Chain A
Amino acid sequence: MSIEKSPLRRKLDKLFVPLTVGPTLLWIAAIIVYPTAKLLFSSLQFRNPVTNELEFVGLRNFQRLILAREGSDAALGVFNPSFVSFTTNTVIYVGFSVSISFLLGLGIALLLDKDLKGRGWFRTAVIVPWILPYVMSGLMWRWMFQSDFGAINGALQRLGIISGNIPFLSDGALAMMALIIADVWVFTPFIIIILLAGLQNVPEQLYDAAEVDGASRWSRFWNVTYPFLKPSILVALTIRIIFDIRALDLVWVMTQGGPGKSTEVWASWLYRTAQVFNEPGTGAALGVVLLAVTFAIVASLYKIFGESPYEA
């Protein structure tokens, strides 16, 4: 290669950063910043049902969303009953899904971290559910839970555990349970992948030392594994929680928020408000709330866990 440098080459070299970063920044401005700004703007507008025009209404959408309307029933004193009940559903759904899949994922990750033959095969088999389209997984579980021809009723009957059919998806509490099972099925692989990567950071010698010291299994996990795993746990939980709050796919294809409104969560409420009821302003306001809650959760999780001394 030649050492001489033509002026053009030098000029192109000087432009390296602008030419490689500029297009991406422009793209991001157009496809992320602009829609987000428009979201904030839309949340302050309301579609007048008579004229079909968008009118500026200030914070009234947020008020309509969170607080009870005048003259109608209120929950917990002043709140919109829908807001309270859908928030409760979301907390139940996310809380159970995340904690069950976290414990399950941690257990499987610890098993897969052992020096086993055929570990690669197990790892492949274990992560597949997460790669499938969520819609297909949701419908698959709807079929599993179907009351007449579903595999779960069929298997329970064949084992002699039940005699009649359990109408899983037409009972509020059972439908929520079915949703949580589907969610755990889909997202546990994600926890496994992240925690398995974190387990690679634990130095082998520390285990040997702990064994020599006669540390119990529990104390080995708590004193050796956990400190090194903490950053991965933080990431896994953060991503898991914020992705579950926004998840529409499973809920929409399995229950559509029903029966009644017993599985209506924020995501399905937002979709219904914005698209089905054609109230973009209220939908956008809910979007802003979702955005704010997401950032608040991330910030507080990082605060709770703090900085780990063993940063990966």
Chain B
Amino acid sequence: MSTKKSPLNRLRRSLGLETQNEWPSVARERLLAYGLLAVYVLIIWFPIYYIFITSIKPSSEVLSLPITFLPQSPTAQNYVDIFTNRPFDNYTINSMIVATTTTLICITLGTVTGYSFSRFDFMGNKSLLLSIVGARMIPPIALIVPFFQIMSNPPLIGGFTGSLYDTRLALILTYTFFNLPFAVWIMKNYFDGIPESLDEQARIDGCSRWEAFVKIILPMAKPGIAATAILAFIFSWNEFVFALVLTSSEQAQTLPIAVSLFVADDFVDWAHLAAGGMIAALPGILFGLFFQQYIVSGLTQGAVKE
């Protein structure tokens, strides 16, 4: 009991207890909190674990009883299959092009516009900002009819005729509709947090407005831009409804559509679906693990500061 290195004492110390015989309510409360959190995490990660092991089981094992919670003969065959028998390379490239382009458009426009809304009083800026925020509330699903009509039969601009239906461009244009207002709003809030005296000092030092923005303020806004970019990328990467309405072949279909295509009328190819699902989920899991603080700060900037 009295040896300094017993596991019990280590536990006590890690719970912040100084003396050996003290088990106050604080410690008990912490243990309880750890316990509850651990149970919660185990429960919510179990489905992810189950779809993952399904993706590395041979199809025969997936559809045999009793079901196994540890794969008996792990294999990468399902992953190989979806890239050889199905155009998963196309789907992945489509997803990447659409998500990246949408993100670039939204952070470029969102950053410069957010800066102006943060710094300048111009005609109608308050009501303009309010309508941009309001635009975030428009349900995308409500607009599937007009977007389908517009993309199948776009208005004549510069002599362009023809349909944008089943093109990546249609998805990129459509995805800016929910990402751009969000980007403007997050960036405006982020710039609000950067003191205006920095702009003024730069102007006194002889910078033009553009130089002050690009050289002084923009570098300080990098974390905000990163948060916006990560969220816009995730929203675009995961989008399903417009991809369902606006695309019909592998020249534009994205990964969420590709995964849903494993569901046939009566039969679902679960082993391959699981592999495709893991591919579609990969960026989200990676972003979540490595850039969690950006996602949290972006959402908080975007939502709480109403």
Total interface residues on B, CB under 8 Å, equals: 100
**Quick one: given A20-B115, A127-B292, are A248 and B141 in contact (CB under 8 Å)?**
yes
A135 touches B41 (CB 8 A): no
What CA separation (Å) do A117 and B15 show in the bound complex?
9
**Quick one: given A20-B112, A27-B109, A111-B33, are A283 and B238 in contact (CB under 8 Å)?**
no
A23 at interface by CB-CB < 8 Å: yes
Task: List residues of B (207-240) whose CB comes within 8 Å of A's CBs.
Answer: 207-211, 213, 234, 237-238, 240
**What is the predominant secondary structure among interface residues of chain A facing chain B?**
helix
Give the residue of B41, B143, B256 whose beta carbon is less than 8 angstroms from that of A125. Answer: B41
B138 touches A32 (CB 8 A): yes
A114 at interface by CB-CB < 8 Å: yes
Convert A288-302 into 0s and 1s, putting 1 for each residue whose CB lies closer than 8 angstroms to a CB of B: 101100110010000
A81 at interface by CB-CB < 8 Å: no
B137 touches A294 (CB 8 A): yes
**Quick one: given A140-B277, A248-B240, A249-B241, are A129 and B299 in contact (CB under 8 Å)?**
no
Give the residue of A36, A126, A149 whose beta carbon is less than 8 angstroms from that of B40. Answer: A126
Convert A245-259 into 0s and 1s, putting 1 for each residue whose CB lies closer than 8 angstroms to a CB of B: 110110011000000
Task: List residues of B (289-306) whose CB comes within 8 Å of A's CBs.
Answer: 289, 292, 295-296, 299-300, 303-306
- Neighbouring A residues of B211 by C-beta, 8 Å: 1
Total interface residues on A, CB under 8 Å, equals: 95
Convert B172-207 into 0s and 1s, putting 1 for each residue whose CB lies closer than 8 angstroms to a CB of A: 011011001100100000000000000000000111
B245 at interface by CB-CB < 8 Å: yes
A122 at interface by CB-CB < 8 Å: yes
**Quick one: given A28-B180, A35-B177, A270-B144, are A291 and B139 in contact (CB under 8 Å)?**
yes
B residues with CB within 8 A of A: 14, 29-30, 33-34, 36-37, 40-41, 44-48, 50-51, 54, 62-67, 69, 109-110, 112-113, 115-117, 120, 122, 128, 132, 135, 137-150, 173-174, 176-177, 180-181, 184, 205-211, 213, 234, 237-238, 240-241, 244-245, 255-257, 259-260, 262-263, 268, 270, 273-274, 277, 280-281, 284-285, 287-289, 292, 295-296, 299-300, 303-306
A residues with CB within 8 A of B: 1-3, 5, 9, 12-13, 16-17, 20-21, 23-25, 27-28, 31-32, 34-36, 38-39, 42, 108, 111-112, 114, 116-117, 120, 122-129, 131-136, 139-144, 146, 148-151, 154, 157-158, 185, 190, 193-194, 196-198, 231-232, 235-236, 239, 242, 245-246, 248-249, 252-253, 267, 270-271, 274-275, 280, 283-284, 286-288, 290-291, 294-295, 298, 312
